[in-house]
Amino acid sequence: MKIATNIHVIPGVAAHPYLLVDPDGLTLIDTGIPGSANKILRYIKRMGYSHKDLNRILLTHADYDHAGSLAALKKATGARVHASVYEARAVANGQFPRSLKTENIFLKPIFALAERLGRISPAHVDEHICDGQVLPVLNGLHVVDTKGHTPGHLSFFAPSVGILFSGDSILSMKDRLVGSHGSVTWDQDQADASVLRQWALKARIICSGHGAVVMDGLARLMNLAEVLRLAPAYQRL
Ligand SMILES: [Zn+2]
């Protein structure tokens, strides 16, 4: 499904994989849960491309629903995989990038089980990327450190389009945006700071790992920043 020129979200896969089209080939952001590879490859074929045209896979983070089909897609396409050092380590081990947190003694064993069941096929990350790098995608795709949801979470921002791929650092829920929170959040303060950092980018379109694409992202991020009481901090930047 087309979001903007050369930018697609692949329907029917959780979490959302985004496909970016450049003259020299295709880039995929995130890969969905295990078993999503064929859906993604079918979408690429329907667009008139071969699976070999997928040059690059970027990972926001190593959770099950984002890196679950990475190994299968890498094998099928030969694409080079890019992720932060921390998430690359988790993917290499097929592990959750952080423990799920709870003080509830009844939930502890359930979360431990979820971490075991949530293991993914290990995959090798070819290139470690970090904050401030600009990738040759969509006329310059900026890598943004958005740790908090996980220790090495990254977002990707294309100023030429005003579009932000926020992974799970900012989520689209019903008609609003929310920051990462609750048991899946590695560090809440860092997660809130990552919302602030992304607000400062002034993206128009927000493509989150979950929920609808938000076309009036700037106004909604403003609301989110106010909810987090980040507005005064933003004034001091
Ligand atoms: Zn997710």
CA of 95 to the centre of ligand 1 (A): 14
pLDDT of residue 230: 56
Report which of residues 235 and 129 the model is more confident about: 129
Which residue, chain included where needed, has tokens 């993914």?
120
CA of 24 to the centre of ligand 1 (A): 29
DSSP 44-105: HHHTT--GGGEEEEE-S---HHHHTTHHHHHHHH--EEEE-HHHHHHHHHT--SSPPP---T
Which residue, chain included where needed, has tokens 């609301």?
223
CA of 63 to the centre of ligand 1 (A): 7
pLDDT in tens, 6-20: 999 999 999 999 999
Radius of gyration of the chain, Cα coordinates, nearest whole angstrom: 17
CA of 152 to the centre of ligand 1 (A): 14
CA of 34 to the centre of ligand 1 (A): 13
CA of 218 to the centre of ligand 1 (A): 22
Residue 152 Cα distances to 22, 59, 164, 213, angstroms: 26, 10, 17, 23
Is residue 112 over pLDDT 90?
Answer: no
The SS3 call for residue 157 is: strand
CA of 15 to the centre of ligand 1 (A): 5
CA of 235 to the centre of ligand 1 (A): 30
Tokens found for residue 4:
């903007």
DSSP 77-93: H--EEEE-HHHHHHHHH
pLDDT of residue 237: 37
CA of 32 to the centre of ligand 1 (A): 9
CA of 236 to the centre of ligand 1 (A): 31
CA of 169 to the centre of ligand 1 (A): 9
pLDDT in tens, 120-172: 899 999 999 999 999 999 999 999 999 999 999 999 999 999 999 999 999 99
pLDDT of residue 176: 83
pLDDT in tens, 59-110: 999 999 999 999 999 999 999 999 999 999 999 998 888 877 666 777 777 7
Q: Other CB atoms closer than 10 Å to residue 31's CB: what's the count?
A: 30
CA of 8 to the centre of ligand 1 (A): 18
Is residue 205 over pLDDT 80?
Answer: yes
CA of 61 to the centre of ligand 1 (A): 9
pLDDT in tens, 13-56: 999 999 999 999 999 999 999 999 999 999 999 999 999 999 99
CA of 26 to the centre of ligand 1 (A): 22
Is residue 235 over pLDDT 50?
Answer: no
CA of 60 to the centre of ligand 1 (A): 9
CA of 148 to the centre of ligand 1 (A): 13
CA of 100 to the centre of ligand 1 (A): 13
